[in-house]
């Protein structure tokens, strides 16, 4: 066996040591499952073996399924019956393990997730190492699936329906001590004693029969339609899932169904039910979308798949930040937390100190919540030096400019910085709209000038958009990406254009929302449908947050820059009316699409009905949903055609992590593949006739629909190779 080493000690206890070669963590590969099948049969049929202990040769136990196989499962050509039989095969293996008449114990020496924990649940005894870095859980829901190796049946039979459902529908990770408290493991021991403790159990008291196979077994806390506790758990759980998912995610509902239906039946029938629901999820694109974008492609981005090859790895030790406003203050915090020396510069020392206050407040919250202490906070704060003196930027490896979105102001601070910082240093401009190539004209070193777009609030938002100017060299790109990895953010790399990728495409969302207001669509319908479709915030609420004034300012700046080539967007009349006539400029000004009463809850401004009279016929919720989502997907295609983004993975990652596009879609481009290329094109043709040229289908997409070749097909393996 290549993935399991089987040895038998003098007491007749077999030790199965798992080691999936060429993997940093053990995963459920076909080779491993075949080896485990053979090992279980050896233990079951060898009279010289009393029982067996499963453990791992690695620091972790088993991390679960191979995610690459899950991504491929949706389009691998296998029928539902074939996928069902594969699921039943793994279940049969674990069923053979627990019913073969020999006791099995799991010596869980590290993290056990998904199928890894399901193997442990099939063992008759579970002892976990007291490892603070280890976690146990069934997180399949996070990739759009359910535990398909018996987890939905064994866990509720072990700890009760309510506790099991909370863990499985939320994908919760538990430390070993909490798993012990809940009854998932039988003991937690020092790491060095893990295998020995499992062996002692087999020798001294090994019981080869599971509780659910014993006569008279009942699910802890009850099960079935007639049991009050079970009914309450399922009713409340169903309502909570509907509220949290708007039925966009099928996995939590399938988990509830497995537990409800399976727990009133013998476990073998329950396992069959589980396999049927598991297969239905494999046949659904949501699992493919979540796995591909948020695990495979995000993992590749985190490992800097877009980093130029051949450039030596760099580490930012000293960072300069120009501007101590909200963005600069947030960048200072995450950088100091990542152990960098930070120089936070503003027009005067008081302004810089106000920026440092942001770090003080965040650190105090961490202390108040028991996540840190005063000594650790002091160390982080000591790394931030506030100043108005550019001379302190000497010795910086990287300087990030985060001043007001004005070309003149940005040019001034660029010149002052370049006069003092090292020739090898990279200058990065944090901007959401201004083209880097335009900004680089103010630099004497345009090859070392790069755009870095952070999202607010910096400490919470996971994405950073790196914008390459026309002259940006590979080293500047590498330094920016290495820095982003240091602060543990996810980068995407885009080429320069007005609005880049994220701001440009997100603008189509807010534009469509405002356009519908101008058409007389009920604003409550717009906002509610957007949230039900899975967008993080409704388009009107977003405009209030960023302020109509900023949108108006950007539109004016764009018109000035483009001159005769400028074309106002469809929402321009609405935006202009809000700023010029209504003087409702957004949340910061106390009024916008919403009212913000002191001490009260925000609500849509009642005067909207007078300012923009309601149309007699209102669109369906589905029509509003398509307009809001499809317009973003179409512009992402244009960004790919124009080379603003160079890989569909960046488009999908950026849309979800950058502005909250619905994760279940997999991102803006994956949405098109999910709908179906031709179906999407046909629907956009209809929308273009009804609402205008912003829904016109690019020729590239029309050709792609004819050929049936998806966005990822021509890039197959490129991003995933780094995952």
Domain map (residue ranges) of the chain: 4-283, 318-497, 503-715
Give the three-state DSSP class for 718. coil
> Alpha-carbon distance 311 to 361, whole Å?
38
Whether 318-497 and 4-283 are alike in CATH topology: the answer is no
Q: Which residues are catalytic?
A: 453
Superfamily of domain 318-497: NAD(P)-binding Rossmann-like Domain (3.40.50.720)
pLDDT (average), residues 242-247: 90
- For the packed helices 115-122 and 151-159, what is the interaxial angle rounded to 10 degrees? 60
Question: If you ran DSSP here, which 8-state letter would residue 555 be given?
Answer: H
Between 121 and 598, whose confidence is greater? Answer: 121
Question: What does the block give as tokens for 526?
Answer: 């717009």
Q: What is the pLDDT of residue 713?
A: 87
- Strand boundaries in 364-429, DSSP class E: 384-387, 398-401, 426-429
Q: How does residue 228 score in pLDDT terms, banded at 50, 70 and 90?
A: confident
Q: Looking at the domain covering 4-283, what would its CATH class be?
A: alpha beta
Between 75 and 269, whose confidence is greater? Answer: 269
CATH architecture of 503-715: Orthogonal Bundle (1.10)
> Alpha-carbon distance 548 to 553, whole Å?
8
Prediction pTM value: 0.92
pLDDT (average), residues 625-643: 97
pLDDT (average), residues 270-275: 98
Q: Residue 367 above 90 pLDDT?
A: yes
Q: What is the pLDDT of residue 147?
A: 97
Q: What is the pLDDT of residue 720?
A: 40
Q: Residue 560 above 80 pLDDT?
A: no
Dump pLDDT digits (tens) for 438-474: 777 778 899 999 999 999 899 999 999 999 999 999 9
Between 409 and 406, whose confidence is greater? Answer: 409
Dump pLDDT digits (tens) for 515-545: 999 999 999 999 999 999 999 999 999 999 9
Q: What is the pLDDT of residue 721?
A: 36
pLDDT (average), residues 103-110: 98
Q: What is the pLDDT of residue 658?
A: 96
Q: Residue 22 above 80 pLDDT?
A: yes
Across the chain, mean pLDDT equals 93
Q: Residue 224 above 50 pLDDT?
A: yes
- Which of 265-279, 347-361, 559-573 comes out lowest in average pLDDT? 559-573
> Could you tell me whether strands 173-174 and 187-189 are parallel, antiparallel, or unpaired per DSSP bridges?
unpaired
Q: What is the pLDDT of residue 433?
A: 67
> Alpha-carbon distance 209 to 196, whole Å?
21
Give the strand order in the sheet containing 13-18.
Answer: 4-8, 13-18, 51-56, 104-108, 125-129, 187-189
Q: What is the pLDDT of residue 716?
A: 58
Give the three-state DSSP class for 420. coil
Give the three-state DSSP class for 306. coil
Contact between 301 and 645 under an 8 Å Cβ cutoff? The reply is no
- Which of 78-87, 125-134, 228-237, 271-280 comes out lowest in average pLDDT? 228-237
């Amino acid at each position: 066996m290549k993935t399991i080493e089987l040895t038998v000690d003098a007491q007749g206890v077999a030790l199965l040591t798992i080691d999936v070669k060429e993997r940093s963590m053990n995963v459920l590969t076909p080779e491993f499952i075949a080896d485990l099948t053979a090992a279980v049969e050896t233990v079951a049929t060898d009279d010289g073996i009393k029982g067996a202990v499963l453990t791992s040769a690695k620091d972790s136990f088993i991390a679960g399924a191979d995610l690459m196989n899950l991504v491929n499962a949706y389009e691998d050509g296998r029928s539902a019956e074939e996928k069902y039989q594969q699921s039943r095969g793994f279940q049969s293996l674990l069923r053979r393990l627990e019913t073969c008449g020999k006791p099995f114990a799991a010596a869980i020496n590290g993290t056990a997730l998904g199928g890894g924990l399901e193997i442990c649940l099939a063992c008759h005894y579970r002892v976990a190492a007291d490892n603070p870095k280890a976690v146990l859980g069934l997180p399949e829901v996070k990739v759009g699936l359910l535990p398909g190796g018996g987890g939905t049946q064994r866990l509720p039979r072990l700890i009760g329906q309510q506790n099991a459902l909370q863990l499985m529908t939320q994908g919760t990770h538990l430390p070993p001590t909490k798993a012990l408290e809940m009854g998932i493991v039988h003991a937690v021991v020092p790491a060095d004693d893990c295998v020995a403790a499992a062996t002692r159990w087999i020798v001294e008291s090994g019981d080869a029969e599971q509780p659910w196979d014993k006569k008279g077994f009942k699910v802890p806390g009850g099960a079935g339609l007639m049991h009050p506790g079970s009914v309450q758990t399922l009713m409340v759980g169903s309502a909570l899932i509907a509220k949290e998912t708007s039925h966009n995610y099928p996995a939590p509902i399938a988990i509830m169904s497995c537990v409800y239906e399976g727990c009133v039946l013998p476990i073998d029938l329950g396992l069959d039910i589980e396999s049927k629901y598991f297969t239905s999820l494999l046949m659904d694109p949501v699992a493919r979308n979540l796995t591909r974008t948020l695990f495979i492609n995000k993992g590749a981005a985190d490992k800097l798949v877009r980093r130029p090859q051949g450039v030596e790895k760099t580490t930012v030790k000293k960072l300069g930040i120009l501007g101590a406003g909200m963005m600069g203050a947030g960048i200072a915090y995450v950088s100091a937390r990542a152990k960098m020396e930070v120089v936070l510069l503003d027009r005067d020392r008081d302004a810089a100190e106000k920026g440092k206050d942001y770090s003080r407040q965040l650190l105090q919250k961490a202390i108040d919540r028991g996540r840190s202490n005063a000594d650790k906070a002091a160390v982080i704060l000591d790394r931030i030096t506030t100043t108005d003196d550019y001379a302190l930027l000497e010795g910086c490896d990287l300087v990030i400019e985060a001043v007001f979105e004005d070309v003149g102001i940005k040019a001034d601070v660029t010149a002052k910085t370049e006069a003092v910082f090292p020739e090898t240093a990279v200058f990065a401009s944090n901007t959401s709209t201004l083209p880097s190539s335009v900004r680089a004209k103010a630099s004497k070193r345009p090859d070392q000038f790069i755009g870095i777009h952070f999202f607010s609030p910096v400490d919470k938002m996971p994405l950073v958009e790196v914008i390459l100017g026309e002259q940006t060299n590979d080293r500047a790109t590498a330094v920016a990406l290495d820095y982003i990895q240091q602060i543990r953010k996810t980068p995407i790399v885009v080429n320069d254009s007005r609005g880049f990728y994220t701001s440009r495409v997100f603008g189509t969302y807010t534009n469509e929302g405002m356009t519908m207001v101008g058409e007389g669509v009920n604003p409550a319908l717009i906002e509610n449908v957007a949230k039900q479709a899975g967008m993080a915030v409704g388009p009107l609420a977003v405009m209030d947050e960023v302020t109509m004034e900023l949108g108006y300012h950007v539109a004016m700046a764009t018109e000035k820059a483009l001159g005769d080539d400028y074309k106002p967007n469809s929402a321009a009349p609405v935006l202009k009316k809000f700023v010029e006539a209504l003087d409702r400029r957004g949340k910061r000004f106390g009024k916008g699409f919403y009212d913000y009463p002191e001490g009260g809850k925000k609500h849509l401004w009642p005067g909207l009905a007078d300012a923009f009279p309601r149309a007699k016929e209102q669109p369906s919720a589905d029509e509003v949903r398509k307009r809001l989502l499809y317009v973003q997907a179409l512009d992402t295609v244009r960004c790919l055609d124009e080379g603003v983004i160079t890989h569909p993975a960046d488009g999908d990652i950026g849309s979800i992590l950058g502005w909250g596009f619905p994760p279940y879609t997999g991102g803006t481009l994956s949405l098109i593949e999910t709908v179906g290329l031709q179906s999407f094109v046909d629907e956009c043709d209809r929308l273009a006739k009804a609402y205008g040229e912003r829904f016109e289908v690019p020729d590239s997409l029309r050709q792609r629909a004819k050929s049936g070749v998806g966005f990822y097909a021509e890039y197959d393996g490129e991003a995933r190779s780094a995952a």
